Amino acid sequence: MIASTPTRASQRTQRSGFTLLELMLVLAIIAAIGAIVTPSLGAMWERSKLRGATDALRLRWDQARLEAMRTGQNQVFECEPGTGNFSVKPLVLQADTTTAGTGATLLSGGALVETQDNGFMTSADTEEFQGETLEETITFVQCLVVGDMRAYSITQESLSGGSGVNDLNTSNIGQRVIFYADGSTSTAEVQIKNSRGDVKAVQMRGLTGHTRSIEVSNVASGDEAQ
């Protein structure tokens, strides 16, 4: 009997599958790549959220500045370090009765009212003064405000005849950002961070109200926030 010799086709067929060792090697390589890539993707996502939060904060400041100019009434920003909570409220002063325009919030008969373009006043919507929140996992680090006599004078006026909307006083004026009706603002810097510990800051120039964001610190990929 003549033994048949395996053809090349049959040899290719026998080698077309993977051995268990080869499969284990491929899985090990995939796991190693995943261990390297996953932390990097997480870091990129957190930094993207932080960047988005600084853009949102800059936009909110621009809105507050425009609101102050539109209504003729100063606006105040304040934040709570260690959380993502902040608020923007009108700074209600006695002088606003004669200087503020349409849409301003005034104190009349012990109640808050809002001026209308027809000269009448309606009850102010106090829900507008409720706090706002940054994106999840983004928190405030600190708020630094350059003190000046203008802010001090407004604080004194607020103490002598303001309303309960604001708690502005000489001890906290250094943590409040004021947007004035003439378009100028406090010179300020607010720092925020993500869950990894990366920190960015939003700065505002008082004379022009121009804002910009800067990078304060970055945590290396794979490192834990302290």
For the chain, the domain total comes to 1
Question: pLDDT digit string (tens) for 40-92?
Answer: 666 788 889 999 999 999 999 999 999 999 988 899 999 999 999 999 988 88
Question: pLDDT digit string (tens) for 117-163?
Answer: 666 666 666 666 678 999 999 999 999 999 888 888 877 776 555 55
Q: What is the mean pLDDT of the chain?
A: 79
pTM above 0.75, yes or no: no
In a domain, 110, yes or no: no
Cα 121 from chain centre: 33
Q: Domain containing 135 — which CATH number?
A: 3.55.40.10
Domain of 168 in residue numbering reads as 20-89+130-217
In a domain, 42, yes or no: yes
Q: Is 222 within 8 Å of 207 (Cβ atoms)?
A: no
What pLDDT sits at residue 93? 78
In a domain, 99, yes or no: no
In a domain, 106, yes or no: no
Helical (H) or strand (E) element with 98: helix 96-99
In a domain, 11, yes or no: no
In a domain, 61, yes or no: yes
Q: Counting every residue, how long is the chain?
A: 226
In a domain, 108, yes or no: no
